[in-house]
Amino acid sequence: MRVLSGIQPTGRFHWGNYFGAIQQYIELQDEDESYYFIANLHALTTIRDRELLRQLTLDAAIDLLALGLDPNRANLFAQSDIPEVSELCWLLLSGTSMGLLERCVSFKDKKARGIQANVGLFTYPVLMSADILAYDADVVPVGEDQLQHIEVCRDLAMSFNHQFGDVFTLPKGKVLADSAKVPGTDGEKMSKSYNNTLELFEAPKPQRKKIMRITTDSRPMEEPKPDYEDDTLFQLYRLVATESECAEMAELYQRGGFGYGEVKKAVADAADRYFAEPRARREELAAHPERVREILADGANVARKKAGDVLLRAQQACGVK
Ligand code: ADP
Ligand code: TRP
């Protein structure tokens, strides 16, 4: 089985990215073959500052490695190092209907929020499809919001196969069952666009301050809170605490007689502990960026070879080679 996923370097990673997506990548790296890339071409639809994009791309690679992605088991590379993918993207674009892309929720959402749409944003799912099809990926671990794009990819692959023969492998999306939505500090879905994130590698002190400012309800301390599973703090705690700590916390909520300040402190303590090891690994990697660049170059070598084979297959099938 071949696993592939990509993540955009549009900001520093937050808990939502980790528990909703990155954690799954890392769990799946032991499959026969795995490909993980930093989607810097996708990021270009929003980031227009070259130094920032370079820095965020390197930071993303460092973060993934620090969080446990092992370059001896997985291929890690930058999307822009595989030009074959952009070429494949054109072959797919030529057969993509406008309607299919107009129906994509992520595009519709951005438009609705008044974000000026460029053509890159509109065709985003087609580049994403090329990313996936270029490596004959079987499984694509993603956050729930990306499932529609995987469906687009399957549609495009089926239609190409239908017209030109059996060229592309049909991929499947894979979402972690309980990862659906990590709440942000305001209780809404955590997202950098909502400015409510807890960054993975923020210094412990400012992170603790953010946690202490998380919005809570105004029910009196003594009141039991049997609906603890809906509580933002509890949902965050569950991600970083041990099972027995969670069970104790659930009891406390059901009993009542506690202040949210206590829970916030518990969340911050558990987070410090949970991320201590990756934090130390990150510092070590950040001190040796040349090693990280080497890892990306090695990953790109493997990825280019595979993408080259698939591109040739597609070019021959549609008659441009
Ligand atoms: P953001 O919303 O901060 O811009 P991205 O859209 O770049 O984050 O998301 C990258 C990956 O992380 C996606 O696969 C997405 O599904 C996942 N993800 C982002 N935020 C969350 C969240 N709050 N809960 C679960 N998964 C998330
Ligand atoms: N669109 C994905 C996201 O925002 C990133 C991405 C780009 C991707 N290409 C991909 C994910 C291919 C999986 C497969 O999270």
Question: How far does the centroid of ligand 1 lie from the alpha carbon of residue 125, in Å?
Answer: 16
Are 184 and 235 contacting, i.e. CB atoms less than 8 angstroms apart?
no
Instruction: Please tell me whether residue 172 adopts helix, strand or coil conformation.
Output: strand
Please tell me the number of Cα atoms within 13 Å of 115 on its side-chain side. 16
Mean pLDDT, all residues of the chain: 95
pLDDT at 177: 64
pLDDT at 76: 98
Determine the number of helices (DSSP H) and then strands (DSSP E) in the chain: 16, 5
Give the pLDDT confidence of 128-181 residue by residue, as tens digits: 999 999 999 999 998 888 999 999 999 999 999 999 999 999 999 998 666 568
**What separation in angstroms does the CA of 225 have from each of 213, 251, 268, 289?**
20, 9, 21, 48
Lowest-confidence range among 111-115, 205-209, 210-214?
111-115
Please tell me the number of Cα atoms within 13 Å of 110 on its side-chain side. 17
Integer Cα distance of 76 and 70 in angstroms: 9
Find the mean pLDDT for residues 305-315: 98
Find the mean pLDDT for residues 229-257: 96
Integer Cα distance of 292 and 136 in angstroms: 26
Q: Which amino acid is at 135?
A: Y
Integer Cα distance of 196 and 252 in angstroms: 26
Q: Which amino acid is at 72?
A: N
Query: Ligand 1 test: best mutation among 12, 25, 191, most atoms within 8 Å of CB?
Result: 191
Please tell me the number of Cα atoms within 13 Å of 207 on its side-chain side. 16
Q: Identify the DSSP state of 80.
A: G
Integer Cα distance of 255 and 225 in angstroms: 7
pLDDT at 115: 81
Integer Cα distance of 120 and 126 in angstroms: 10
pLDDT at 202: 94
Pairing of strands 33-38, 75-78: parallel
Domains and CATH numbers, the chain: 2-181+289-318 (3.40.50.620), 202-274 (1.10.240.10)
Integer Cα distance of 155 and 159 in angstroms: 6
Structure tokens at 228: 């603890």
The answer on pLDDT for 231 being more than 80 is yes
Annotated catalytic, 110? yes
Q: Which amino acid is at 47?
A: I
Structure tokens at 55: 């820095």
Give the pLDDT confidence of 70-87 residue by residue, as tens digits: 999 999 999 999 999 999
Selected catalytic residue, list 111, 174, 181, 189 = 189
Q: What atom in ligand 2 is closest to the CA of residue 127?
A: 9
Q: Which helix (H) or strand (E) holds 186?
A: none
Instruction: Please tell me whether residue 5 adopts helix, strand or coil conformation.
Output: strand
Q: Across-strand partners of 105?
A: none
Structure tokens at 192: 């950098």
- Considering every ligand atom shown, identify the ligand nearest to the alpha carbon of residue 17 and give its number: 1
- pLDDT band for position 107 (50/70/90)? confident
> Which amino acids bring their CB within 6 angstroms of ligand 2?
4-8, 39, 42, 128, 131-132, 140, 142, 146
- pLDDT band for position 205 (50/70/90)? very high
Residue identified by tokens 């949902």 is 235
Q: Identify the DSSP state of 141.
A: E
Annotated catalytic, 189? yes
Q: Which amino acid is at 136?
A: D
Q: What atom in ligand 2 is closest to the CA of residue 21?
A: 15
pLDDT at 114: 86
Residue identified by tokens 């993509």 is 96
Instruction: Please tell me whether residue 229 adopts helix, strand or coil conformation.
Output: helix
Selected catalytic residue, list 110, 210, 225, 264 = 110
Identify the CA nearest to 229 among candidates 266, 181, 185.
Answer: 181
Q: Identify the DSSP state of 241.
A: S
Q: How many CB atoms lie within 10 A of CB 32?
A: 8
Instruction: Please tell me whether residue 275 adopts helix, strand or coil conformation.
Output: coil
